[in-house]
Amino acid sequence: PQYRRAARERSAAERRLNRRMQSRSEPFLSGADAARVRRVLYLNGMPAEEIEDAMQEIELRAIQRPPRGTSRGAWACAVATNLALDRGRRAARQRRHPLAEPRAWSEDTPGVELRDALRRGLDGLDATLRATIVLRFYADLTIAEIAATMDVPVGTVKSRLHRAVSELRALL
């Protein structure tokens, strides 16, 4: 009898989720927020071919557990950072080769060298330092929002930012 009750509860939860998905007529993120979340995913090491899947995962999580007490963009950046960190940990466990860099610009585009150097610098940082830098300078989250996102004190965010910038200077 207990397994039947669990199955009924699961099917009821699935029905509620389906109703929420069908009642949504517009995407969770606006164009600017969606672009910002894509940049957060990319800069945190997510391969280009996996970014759209991650965006769908973020939409699904927003439907399952809508954000409370924070802006949609900040919440989505936090989820994107966590997805990218999880993917990085999974890749490290499976001992994959380094991530392939997507080519969004042609090689004769001005600033390609700077972009490539910055990407190599970010790849050289520890995952938590990289996530902190990306959330602060690319997602434009405040230090308090980053602290809430990463579930660490504000002082930890400040010290990580300082250390990450110092390491980036040394790498670049």
Per-residue pLDDT at 100: 47
The structure tokens listed for 38 are: 């894509």
Per-residue pLDDT at 27: 73
First to last CA, the chain: 63
Note down pLDDT in tens along the chain; length 172 residues. 566 666 666 566 556 545 655 555 677 788 888 999 999 999 888 888 999 999 999 988 888 887 787 788 888 898 999 898 888 887 777 654 444 455 554 555 566 777 788 888 888 888 899 999 989 988 888 999 899 888 899 999 999 999 999 998 888 7
Ramachandran bin of 158, using left for φ above 0, alpha for ψ from -120 to 50, beta for the remaining angles: alpha
Per-residue pLDDT at 156: 95
Please name which of 91, 74, 71 lies closest in space to residue 40, comparing C-alpha atoms: 74
Per-residue pLDDT at 29: 81
Per-residue pLDDT at 153: 95
Report which secondary-structure segment, H or E, holds 67: none
